[in-house]
Chains A and B, each alone.
Chain A
Amino acid sequence: DTGVSQDPRHKITKRGQNVTFRCDPISEHNRLYWYRQTLGQGPEFLTYFQNEAQLEKSRLLSDRFSAERPKGSFSTLEIQRTEQGDSAMYLCASSIQGPNVLTFGAGSRLTVL
């Protein structure tokens, strides 16, 4: 068990470009979460999956954001037409059904120039 893996760890892009982040959860975990964290703030919920079903999305998740979890394994978070306000750390977490104890990955830091 290698924990929750996120890739890439750092991404620098120009405004208007598309970016995609990948998250590999702990293998037996059926819940997967995406959070966003900006400097000096706590993580904010974006969306979560139970197996392959996306069960909840935050109002923070504009139509430029899309997340998928095909086959209930890894997940991707895509941001289209990036804006400078999208610069943040994108955190993925997973948990197993039952007490919802989240394990976080190391995060993917996005910088939009």
Chain B
Amino acid sequence: GIQVEQSPPDLILQEGANSTLRCNFSDSVNNLQWFHQNPWGQLINLFYIPSGTKQNGRLSATTVATERYSLLYISSSQTTDSGVYFCASEGLNDYKLSFGAGTTVTVRA
């Protein structure tokens, strides 16, 4: 299946800082999603973004499918942004998402 690598594995931010999380994937995809996992384990879908750029409040994401990577931007971070961010992708002939190992974000007040 498709391989997904995320970097960095851990990120510590001061409240108000901006950050960029990266996701590399090993093959062409027809689906890429970013999730936030809260401290209770719930995975929340942030973006469905197989290509292009989307924005939702202080979060935005860009996927460059031809170069096989996606970026998640967090601007003006808040303590509530803390948690684990996962990137997941689905190959062209696949019907399941493969997840990366995640980036653990800690935002300090």
Contacts of A100 in B (CB 8 A): 31, 90, 95, 97
Contact pattern, B 41-66, Cβ under 8 Å of A = 1, otherwise 0 = 11111001000000000000000000
Q: Which of A40, A41, A99, A104 contacts B43 (CB 8 A)?
A: A104
Q: How far does the alpha carbon of A81 sit from the alpha carbon of B105 in the complex, in Å? A: 37
Instruction: Check: B101 CB closer than 8 A to any chain A CB.
Output: yes
**Smallest CB separation, A91 vs chain B (Å):** 7
B-side interface mostly = strand
Contact pattern, A 90-110, Cβ under 8 Å of B = 1, otherwise 0 = 010100000111111011010
Interface size classification for chain A: 20 to 34
When A and B form their complex, what is the total count of cross-chain residue pairs whose Cβ atoms lie within 8 Å?
A: 59
Contacts of B69 in A (CB 8 A): none
Contact pattern, B 1-35, Cβ under 8 Å of A = 1, otherwise 0 = 10010000000000000000000000000010101
Q: Which of B41, B98, B101, B102 contacts A45 (CB 8 A)?
A: B98
A-side interface mostly = strand
Whether the pair B45, A42 counts as a contact (CB closer than 8 A) is no
Whether the pair B96, A48 counts as a contact (CB closer than 8 A) is yes
Whether the pair B33, A101 counts as a contact (CB closer than 8 A) is yes
Q: Which of B44, B48, B86 contacts A43 (CB 8 A)?
A: B86
Q: How far does the alpha carbon of A100 sit from the alpha carbon of B56 in the complex, in Å? A: 20
**Smallest CB separation, A32 vs chain B (Å):** 11
Contact pattern, A 14-51, Cβ under 8 Å of B = 1, otherwise 0 = 00000000000000000101010100111111001010
Given contacts A91-B43, A99-B31, A100-B90, 17 further A-B contacts (CB under 8 A): A37-B41, A41-B101, A42-B4, A42-B99, A42-B100, A43-B88, A45-B96, A45-B97, A50-B95, A100-B31, A100-B97, A101-B31, A101-B45, A102-B45, A102-B97, A106-B42, A107-B41
